[in-house]
Amino acid sequence: MAGTLRAMSEAKLLNELGTSLKGEAATATFACGGTIPVAKVKLSRSPPMTGDKRKSRSTSGSNSPTTTRDLSYPEEIEPVDIRWDSAGLKAGTKITFPAQTPFDSESFHQLLSDCEPASFGQGDKGVLDKTHCKAGKLEKGAFMTHFCPYITGIVDVIAQVLLPSIGRSPQLRGIRAERSDLNIYSGPSGKFRAHINTPRSNMQFGLLVVCLPCVYEGGALLVRYRKNTMEFDWSENESESEPAIKWAAFYNDCEHEILEVKSGHRLTITYNLYVTCGVGGKLGIHLSQLYPFLNEFTTKDFPYCLKGVDMAVFEAFRALDLQAELCSVMFCNENECDFGDEESTSELTLVSYGLHAFKAIKEAHEPYRGGLWDFLLDNFPHKVYRDIHWLTHRAYEDMALVWLGNGSDPSLEWKFACTALLVHVPAAADRKVE
């Protein structure tokens, strides 16, 4: 009897938990958006004053009310420049938003002319179908803009609304917004029917659409998740007194649609949103001064032997509680060392901790059976790295090894090395944050 009651109680609790989760999933936040005022007169290029408080209007969820957040960002941003290389002009072309009469300018007509028809993905192919998508585009490599979703605070709002655990999870560092295409939907009939974007990687979680201040009618963005729909209507008319950047971000598994633009031109820049992981890694700094390879005392006297900017760099990393080690570095490709794929030309970084004294091997009567790789293993103790992020270029190299083989197959080999600081940056979860 007790077992039956326990089973019934567990079943009821599990059923209630399932119902609760189902209800939460149906009403959960899946999109957010906001408005950022744009100065009518172009501001100076000085850095934004982070102490100024601005009321940033942002909207989230499917039925959520508009919320106001106090954020330390510029009160208004400067007008947005779009620069591109025009096929019809010798020099690059620029247009600034907002403009008094952008549609009548020569630059705007040139921009329309330089755009190619926008395609959409179907499987692994790009498809052109104006009944489904009617728009022009400039691919990300074809244009430039100084607009930054980080400086304006957009990325911070997205992190708070769409990834609320990002600040508390030690495994996650932040959001990376990767700029994609510039799209122009022109009236009448510019549109993009309902679709779902294919993620570009496992780390992509959403899309950000930034609408430039421009006069048009229609063209609302509809974002749907299950039975919920959120509408972002950014259409403007000439009587609007305050030009603004308007934006929306949403998960990439949401269906979204752009309704027909009735008149004017709707210009947007799309960003792919990725979660970035703080997994740590190695930083390499080539030393700018010359240090002797001829004796072992330099290594013993480290770091007191460092000179000039090398000592300043070492002290900077030490102040950050990061361990910087003096090492000798040798570079060779996999094919040269008979390591891995014979066709590979990937560069290997061979790191010998401490300064490796110059060494000449004269007594070898036969070549090393394993070639240069075995020779290095025996005479240049090292670890192999493929993923060091080098912050500086090599200033110099010095002779580190010479090998003379005078047997039946005479040969002469030599390798150069350079000195560097190798800094280990721990994963985000292991960093000391005060």
Q: Decide if pLDDT at 179 tops 90.
A: yes
Going from the C-alpha of 342 to that of each of 25, 336, 338, 339, the distances in angstroms are 52, 9, 7, 8
Rounded to an integer, the average pLDDT of 179-185 is: 95
- Cis peptide leading into residue 98 (ω within 30°): yes
Is residue 272 a contact partner of residue 198, using CB atoms and an 8 Å limit?
A: no
Rounded to an integer, the average pLDDT of 146-167 is: 86
- Residue by residue, DSSP assigns 165-208 as TTTT-TTEEEEEEEEEEEEEEETTTEEEEEE-PPPSSTTEEEEE
Looking at residue 107, its pLDDT comes to 83
The pTM assigned to this predicted structure is 0.62
Looking at residue 384, its pLDDT comes to 83
Rounded to an integer, the average pLDDT of 126-152 is: 90
Average pLDDT over all residues of the chain: 77
pLDDT digits (tens, 9 = 90+) for 196-231: 888 878 889 999 999 999 889 999 999 999 889 999
Tokens describing residue 433: 């944050």
Looking at residue 320, its pLDDT comes to 87
Q: Decide if pLDDT at 407 tops 70.
A: no
Most confident of 5-19, 39-53, 118-132, 300-314: 300-314
Looking at residue 372, its pLDDT comes to 61
Burial of 31 (0-12, 13-18, 19+ CB in 10 A): buried
Q: Which residue has the higher pLDDT, 18 or 52?
A: 18
Q: Decide if pLDDT at 115 tops 60.
A: yes
Q: How large is the C-alpha radius of gyration of the chain? A: 30
307 band by pLDDT with thresholds 50, 70 and 90: confident
pLDDT digits (tens, 9 = 90+) for 323-379: 888 888 888 766 655 544 444 445 678 887 777 667 777 655 555 555 566 667 777
Q: Which residue has the higher pLDDT, 78 or 106?
A: 78
Is residue 276 a contact partner of residue 183, using CB atoms and an 8 Å limit?
A: no
Looking at residue 35, its pLDDT comes to 93
47 band by pLDDT with thresholds 50, 70 and 90: very low
254 band by pLDDT with thresholds 50, 70 and 90: very high
Rounded to an integer, the average pLDDT of 267-291 is: 87
**Burial letters 375-406, b for 16+ CB under 10 A, else e:** bbeebbebeeeeebeeeeeeeeebebbebebe
CA within 13 Å, CB half, 295: 5
Q: How many angstroms separate the most distant Cα atoms in the chain?
A: 92
Looking at residue 188, its pLDDT comes to 92
Question: Is the C-alpha dihedral spanning 273, 274, 280, 284 positive or negative?
Answer: negative
Tokens 């014979």 correspond to: 342
Looking at residue 303, its pLDDT comes to 80
pLDDT digits (tens, 9 = 90+) for 60-104: 554 443 333 344 566 788 999 999 988 766 567 888 888 655 666
pLDDT digits (tens, 9 = 90+) for 229-241: 999 999 976 666 6
How far is Cα of residue 283 from the mean position of the Cα atoms in its chain? 18
Lowest mean pLDDT among 40-44, 100-104, 250-254, 287-291: 40-44
Q: Decide if pLDDT at 272 tops 60.
A: yes
Going from the C-alpha of 260 to that of each of 62, 133, 217, 222, 239, the distances in angstroms are 22, 10, 9, 11, 22
Looking at residue 1, its pLDDT comes to 60
